[in-house]
Chain A
Amino acid sequence: DQQVKQNSPSLSVQEGRISILNCDYTNSMFDYFLWYKKYPAEGPTFLISISSIKDKNEDGRFTVFLNKSAKHLSLHIVPSQPGDSAVYFCAASSAGRDDKIIFGKGTRLHILP
């Protein structure tokens, strides 16, 4: 029973365009959400996070949007660059209540030249 779902296994985007990665969750107790990026043969690297008290968090080219009523979040990357090609994991936790972070299965992003 997946509590964090990334329904697109892969996504291809033209360089310079916007990449939108989606994530849905089922546990209403989650109050903190994260995106991690992973290159082959490396561990995941933290990218950006958002608390449930916000609906948007921006860091340079990366913006995360949270829609609590829909239990949905998305990561926007604009403009997309070749180095953005990687696997992106959405993750969630109940910060302060539970020490676990629950990860989705990931979406492989390909930036096309």
Chain B
Amino acid sequence: GAGVSQTPSNKVTEKGKYVELRCDPISGHTALYWYRQSLGQGPEFLIYFQGTGAADDSGLPNDRFFAVRPEGSVSTLKIQRTERGDSAVYLCASASGRPPETQYFGPGTRLLVL
């Protein structure tokens, strides 16, 4: 079956602009995670959804970052007033439940803020 997909695969934007990153999880997976991976680092947790609700958003770095999952499937990560430090690969993962259920990752969106 289809895995986790993320669009766009690459996004270049200018400092101060707004961006939206989309994640399509594996069908039927109730859990959805967003991570950010900077160069030379491992994935860093941002937010976790169980169904439509954000169960844990403690990893969001500041209020410029927001994510939604209105119908419990597709999720959108929104970044306002982008800064150069936001440049990273944004990874989405889905799972059939909470840990220790295996998380399946998408290929990521590479965001570059100029």
Contact = CB atoms under 8 A, between A and B. Distances in A.
B107 A101 contact: no
Nearest to A46: B102
Nearest to A33: B100
Contact of A44 (B43, B56, B59, B99): B43
B98 A44 contact: no
Nearest to B46: A100
Nearest to B91: A43
Query: How many A residues are at the interface, by size bracket?
Result: 20 to 34
Interface stretch (A13-21, A57-65, A67-75, A102-110): A102-110
Nearest to A2: B42
Given A43-B106, A44-B91, A101 B98 contact: no
A100 B93 CA distance: 12
Interface string A68-106: 000000000000000000000101010110111111111
Interface centre among A42, A101, A106 (most CB of B within 10 A): A101
B66 to A, nearest CB: 19
Contacts of B99: 32, 93, 95-96, 98-99, 101
A20 to B, nearest CB: 19
